[in-house]
Structure 1
């Protein structure tokens, strides 16, 4: 069927990144851009650039023209809701998006796949997304029109359930937002009765852009990418305490009370031992054992760089800034101390990551 056509230039993601807020375009061929490679992502990218937002599209797939500055996405031609659901946790854990743009359900209609159950499958998919990346904003779109009258009637019935699904998630405290994409296009905007023309994709881009702008933090701030955490006064020199993760309720810990250079720090149940006692210094270091410093390995600046202990040396990769939102910034990299993928288990090794305000990046002295 038409929805399974793969656009030219499609391929495996090349992990393009400009260090901005991570946004995952998620769905089927309409996300991938069948008929117009890159699809709505072209116009959305151009609007983000014009608006001076710094955004990193993420996903395991890659396609689109040179006018699309970041080709990564998670669009899969021909895929239904259940197929996205079966794979989404792995994608989310790998990509750790700050915002998710979800347009899915068209192939359930086109394949006449248990259409009456599609709203329930969508609800379950949203739950899986919000449980895997609980601090991400999830934008759920109604599906765009279809030219076939019978399929369009089924699409309308499916779409009619989505506002209630989204409201139920909101009532449960989830960061889920409704985007009325069906109203943004008409069948005149379709090139083949299913996929938009270039102009139709641009209407989708404009709709996504307005939705993202309406939710603070979902694409950062104009001119700055991620909102820059506001510094707070550094704890008084000589202050010694444990540092507990807000999301995990576990403490910054050196594994096995090791004093070996290069030992990666982790989170562990707070126990008051010396390997969990961190002293702030006038040089903005965080010292443990009196002579070892919290250190970004090899003075790296990339997302995912490991955090370890090392002999104190006064370099920028051993300087840390406490912020008003509870985050702790590695001064040399301007990235936040981070528990990967919002993990909360004992032994999770810590890293630096672009600051996003998540509970896995917030800490408190205890």
Structure 2
């Protein structure tokens, strides 16, 4: 009986230790956001850094820091050495293109990346999963990403070599389709960029025939860094800093001309995704808005008025989100009282000319109506 009790206590102790470890790790990940340009490393174990935890993200972070870029790596996953300044990523060992595709909308909503680094397809080859259909799956995934975050720059890499001769032949066939896929997206007006990753490594850079050595991962880091530097805005400007949190004393209400009610965050929520609405002006913090030099409308200091998902269509919802510098968080006050969402070129709008408390706001084609005009209260 006493032996069983000792085993139970030991098991409970282990469970508590694991739970505390997970809690600490989650807290660390949340704390690493520095308000910089949001970059999502997206892919499989090569993004996660199997064999060398942190993978290419280590060398990429070092280069970004050395170049004085202010970057916030984002994603639901978290790993890497203590020297890696930001451990967040969206790398999933063993995952194929279709599995990433099935989850990308949720990740995009949660993390709203400004830039995406996509290296995916290796497991399609390793698992011999309808390899001939892999290019089309990749094309569909890219479309999914660009629809979810239309203002993001998406960097699509050819996948790195494999040691197996037969698998490497499949890799080369898959990679040969990627430039055409990327060019088709560019022709359609999408912000998609090709990164030739395959040529940067060879089989001597692989630790197990699949995953890179530390040196191989660093070669990947160099390739990503060069590609990012070649696209203005994808990682901000060297020496750039996020727009500072404004002084609360500069915050004022914004009142709808037609309704007489104020721009308000539903339920006084401070959560990402909380909807903007109109409500009786009451002077509370969820109605206090600060215009910044970057074109933001900030509330609570660190949240920005945001067009959900970077949408540009009439009716796209207006929410609050962590300030990230993207165009869907930039607004312009016009001489007629309208407020234009810069990324969409449309106006902040109370639907159907409604003036009731709780009406959720949207963007709509600008027309000068009272439901699109606002004043500083």
TM-score, length basis structure 1 = 0.72
Contact 2:262 2:287 (8 Å CA) reproduced: no
SS at match of 2:106: helix
Contact 1:21 1:225 (8 Å CA) reproduced: no
Which of 89, 97, 108 pairs up with 1:73?
A: 89
2:115: which partner in 1?
99
* Gap change, CA 1:34 and 1:321, over 3 Å in 2: same
**1:137-152 superposed matches below 5 A:** 137-152=153-168
Q: Give 5+ residue unaligned stretches, structure 2.
A: 1-20, 245-249, 332-338, 341-346, 348-367, 369-377
284-293 vs 33-42, greater mean Cα deviation? 284-293
SS at match of 1:22: strand
302-311 vs 46-55, greater mean Cα deviation? 302-311
Does 2:320 align with 1:351?
A: yes
Contact 1:295 1:307 (8 Å CA) reproduced: yes
* Gap change, CA 1:332 and 1:359, over 3 Å in 2: closer
**1:274-285 superposed matches below 5 A:** 285=253
* Gap change, CA 1:62 and 1:34, over 3 Å in 2: same
Does 2:126 align with 1:110?
A: yes
Contact 1:217 1:226 (8 Å CA) reproduced: no
CA distance in 1, matches of 2:266, 2:101: 36
1:249: which partner in 2?
none
Which of 121, 131, 140 pairs up with 1:124?
A: 140
* Gap change, CA 1:162 and 1:225, over 3 Å in 2: farther
Which has more helix, going by share of residues? Answer: 2
* Gap change, CA 1:219 and 1:341, over 3 Å in 2: same
CA distance in 1, matches of 2:211, 2:84: 19
Which of 297, 300, 316 pairs up with 1:329?
A: 297
Offset of residue 51 of structure 1 = 1.3
Number of matched pairs: 303
Offset of residue 353 of structure 1 = 3.4
**1:160-239 superposed matches below 5 A:** 160-226=176-242
Alpha-carbon displacement from aligned partner over 1:43-98 (angstroms, at most 9, x marks no partner): 11111111111111111111111011111111111111111111111111211111
Cα RMSD over matched residues?
A: 3.3
Alpha-carbon displacement from aligned partner over 1:232-263 (angstroms, at most 9, x marks no partner): xxxxxxxxxxxxxxxxxxxxxxxxxxxxxxxx
* Gap change, CA 1:10 and 1:167, over 3 Å in 2: farther
Offset of residue 311 of structure 1 = 4.4
CA distance in 1, matches of 2:108, 2:289: 30
2:105: which partner in 1?
89
SS at match of 1:350: strand
SS at match of 2:116: strand
1:233: which partner in 2?
none
Which of 161, 175, 179 pairs up with 1:159?
A: 175
* Gap change, CA 1:311 and 1:214, over 3 Å in 2: same
Contact 1:54 1:226 (8 Å CA) reproduced: yes
1:278: which partner in 2?
none
CA distance in 1, matches of 2:243, 2:198: 32
CA distance in 2, matches of 1:155, 1:341: 33
Q: Give 5+ residue unaligned stretches, structure 1.
A: 1-8, 229-281
* Gap change, CA 1:316 and 1:122, over 3 Å in 2: closer
Offset of residue 29 of structure 1 = 0.5
Contact 2:285 2:299 (8 Å CA) reproduced: no
TM-score, length basis structure 2 = 0.70
Does 2:297 align with 1:320?
A: no
Contact 2:47 2:90 (8 Å CA) reproduced: yes
SS at match of 2:151: coil
